[in-house]
Chains A and B, each alone.
Chain A
Amino acid sequence: MLAVSDLKIHYRTLAGAVKALDGVSFSVADGEIMGLAGESGCGKSTLGKALIRLEERMQYVGGQVTLDDKVLPIADDRAMNPYRFREVSIVPQYAMSALNPTRRIGRMIDELLEARGLKGATLRPELERRLAILGLTPDVLGMYPIELSGGMKQRVVMVLSTLLDPSLLIADEVTSALDVASQKKVAGALVEFRDRGYVKSMIVVTHDLAILAQVADSIMIMYAGKLAEKAPTRTIVEAPAHPYTRLLLGSLPEVGIRFEEKRLPGIKGRPPSLLSPPTGCRFRDRCPLAFDKCAEEPPFIEIAPGHQVACWKADAHAEG
């Protein structure tokens, strides 16, 4: 069970602090695969990274992260180390280049495990078993990363990241660089690993809503450093309450429609700068439903069980 409350992460830049995460609160239940979506720069990757390791230019400003009733010391790199890999793990965006190119994969894994105080040899059978689940033979452990295809590297990284059965796995844009066939395999593997209990809960960060519809139990939509909506996948797809979610879904192509006749609508305008974000609802300028009250910031409230929205007009939509 992951609980995040009022998390604020800023990026230090020469122009000032970029408020990439500006007070984010949500929770992920055990066994839940939560999709995290939004357009580029909305803070979804920042959120994913913040839960495991802050980059040097990322600055913890406030908030609390609790995993299985323990507070994660995310602001303290050293104190966070024991939790990494064992409690929280990540399949990074750059899985293709995540393995040291000059070490055989098996040796690299052994060295990593030993550096974490574990025995590579005792974990080897489990490692090989899990590789087999994803269709990889134990031979890959004797190879260098360059000898593997991109999809194979991705799967090796998935197995390695989840080897210690972490409570939370962050999958950051894991399908973005893959072809459709590999995407499907990786998506299937995520669900499989959850079902087998290798990971308790998962946050799948992506801009690809189609993938989330396949794997996620719930979807959380972010906009400009804030949460817009979180709901079970079905609800998000069928009855989104936030106007941003609706526009986001509306800009996806649908099977069977010829776009020569009907243009994809898209969303007009651009997200606000996070250097000095506007007050009130951040989607106000692009929102077709905006009215006077949107000058006040809408709270992220539950409008139905498991369905939270930050929009003054959310109730009306959910009903209509």
Chain B
Amino acid sequence: MLRYLARKLFIYLLTFIVAVTIDWAIPRFMPGNPVDALVSRIALMPDANAALTSYFMAAFNLDQPLWQQYLNFWWALLNGDLGRSIMLFPTPVTTLIGRALPYTLGLLLPSILLSWYVGNVVGALAARRKLLDNTVLPLGYLLTATPYMWLGILLAWVLGSSLGWFPLAFGYDQSLKAEWTWKFISSLLYHWILPFASLFLVALGGWAIGMRNMIIYELESDYANYLMALGAPQRLVRKYAFRNAMLPQITGLALQLGAVVGGALVTEIVFSYPGLGWLVLSGIQNQDYFVIQGVFLFIIVGVLLANLIVDVVYVIVDPRTRVGLQGDAA
């Protein structure tokens, strides 16, 4: 068990290093330069521009050779410093992320967990009711094939723009101050519904189909047949089938997590929702290396952590992995 965890941790560490390196490299390979954008916004005389540019280049350490910048980056990272934003200079990136993170988590966690739970329940029910199955299956395929942002745009257009039931953009009513009053919280919820719904619905379809297929497969498996031949009541057979069908769903949850994070980014952009997605978009538009790096770093850590948790959970729920480990150790 410990050996298994140590090996897993090592793999995750390696993945982390590679992912962070890519994360550092990509913004720097983009054409253009963040300081140029910053300086042109200040709009001084041409010769003053040159002086300012070289000043800022030095201030952000962008004049150093790339390998030096790379080492600096790791050094700062290990000290918990993600640098300062260029577009919103001099706000530290950690502050910006801290501000955006609650919105993204508030959107992601409920949509991931609820869609997983509801999808599994609906799928399990569909597996034994013909009528439900005939509606769930096509609907599920339709939903799961829908891109997040397309459904988001559709919802915004129909429910927001045409019917006017829901607001089109932002995390809360921009005329309100962010404070813990009922008015603000209800505005927050009101703005949350559409982006949440678009993430929830797309994920729901996939889970429902997966669970339905798995349950049908399990109910036709040999152990289910044997139990039924020995007169076991449906209750027991279904209990076993459900439990075993959950295993791939748990793995699926981890695999989906990465995709859902990506989906959340796009959804936030569609709804101008002030989460990490929105932050990274403005970061890219302003070539803000440090913001882009910081946000992606967060996503990397999030996905890796989620996978690690699922690895551990899997060992607990599926004895076959555990036996495999023992065999490995022996």
Contacts and interface: CB of A to CB of B under 8 A. Distances in A.
Interface residues of B, number: 23
Interface string B294-330: 0000000000000000000000011110010000000
A101 B320 contact: yes
A72 to B, nearest CB: 13
A186 interface: no
A175 interface: no
A82 interface: yes
Contacts of A97: 221-223
A116 B231 contact: yes
Contact of B229 (A92, A104, A116): A92
Interface in A93-115: 94, 97-104, 111-112, 115
Interface in A58-112: 80-86, 89-90, 92, 94, 97-104, 111-112
A100 B231 contact: no
Interface stretch (B28-36, B54-62, B73-81, B236-244): B236-244
Contact of B227 (A80, A82, A112, A146): A112
A53 B323 contact: no
Contacts of B230: 84-85, 89-90, 112, 116, 160-161
Interface in A137-156: 144, 146-147
A146 to B, nearest CB: 5
A111 B239 CA distance: 11
B149 to A, nearest CB: 39
Interface residue SS majority, chain B: helix
B318 A102 contact: yes
B236 A112 contact: yes
Interface in B205-241: 221-223, 225-233, 235-236, 240
B236 A115 contact: yes
Nearest to B318: A102
Contact of A115 (B229, B232, B318): B232
20 contacts: A53-B229, A83-B231, A84-B230, A85-B230, A89-B230, A90-B229, A90-B230, A92-B226, A94-B222, A94-B226, A97-B221, A98-B222, A99-B226, A102-B243, A102-B318, A102-B320, A104-B319, A115-B233, A144-B319, A146-B320
